[in-house]
């Protein structure tokens, strides 16, 4: 199971890297998409595209960090687990935003992008499920939440 998880995280990171590059390199398809999606918001499409590139780039980085933590068996330790969980929650949020943009901002939904976002979300959920029970004690040990008095 470790190798499947490692492979899924690397794959998710590579896919998101491709989308990050398309935004920063101003590929014509990306520029056109953000011009379309920026209209309902009334914002600058270039800044929207670049900002989205940073958001997706950070999600890609989190999957590569996940892969390293899985490979080095650090995701079972407090700090490693906290990084692992935070990165996956961030990726879930980023892909939720991508789906929101796809359904509510784009004039015509691009279904392959929806499927990719859902697949990335599934990978994040698969990463999170085995560790959800550890989250409250992890947060308490790292003083991120106060212990109940």
**Domain for residue 16, yes or no?**
yes
**Domain for residue 149, yes or no?**
no
Count of domains in the chain?
1
Instruction: Report in angstroms the alpha-carbon separations of 104 from 36, 38, 99, 107.
Output: 11, 11, 8, 8
**Domain for residue 146, yes or no?**
no
pLDDT at 119: 98
pLDDT at 31: 98
Domain coverage including residue 129: 2-141
DSSP notation for 46-107:
HHHHHHHHHHHHHHHHHHHHHHHHHHTT-TTSHHHHHHHHHHHHHHHHHHHHHHHHHHHTSS
pLDDT at 149: 45
**Domain for residue 19, yes or no?**
yes
pLDDT at 133: 82
Q: What span, in angstroms and rounded, lies between the C-alpha atoms of 74 and 96?
A: 27
**Domain for residue 85, yes or no?**
yes
114 within 8 A of 102, measured Cβ to Cβ: yes
**Of the candidates 88, 37, 99, the residue with the CA atom closest to the CA atom of residue 58:** 88
Helices first, then strands: H and E counts in the chain: 6, 0
**Domain for residue 148, yes or no?**
no
**Domain for residue 131, yes or no?**
yes
pLDDT at 80: 84
Answer yes or no: pTM beyond 0.75: yes
**Domain for residue 147, yes or no?**
no
**Average pLDDT per consecutive 10 residues, the chain (149 residues; last block may be shorter):** 93 98 98 97 98 98 95 74 91 98 96 98 95 76 59
């Amino acid at each position: 199971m470790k190798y499947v998880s490692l492979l899924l995280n690397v794959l998710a990171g590579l896919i998101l890297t491709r989308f990050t590059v398309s935004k920063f390199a101003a590929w014509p398809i990306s520029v056109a998409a953000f011009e379309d999606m920026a209209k309902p918001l009334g914002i600058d499409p270039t800044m929207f595209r670049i900002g989205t590139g940073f958001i997706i780039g950070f999600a890609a980085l989190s999957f590569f960090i996940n892969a390293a933590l899985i490979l080095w068996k650090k995701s079972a330790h407090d700090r490693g687990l906290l990084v692992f969980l935070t990165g996956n929650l961030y990726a879930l949020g980023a892909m939720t935003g991508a789906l929101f943009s796809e359904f509510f901002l784009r004039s015509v939904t691009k279904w392959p992008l929806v499927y990719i976002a859902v697949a990335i979300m599934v990978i994040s959920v698969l990463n999170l499920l085995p560790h959800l029970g550890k989250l409250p004690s992890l947060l308490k040990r790292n003083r991120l939440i106060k212990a109940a008095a």
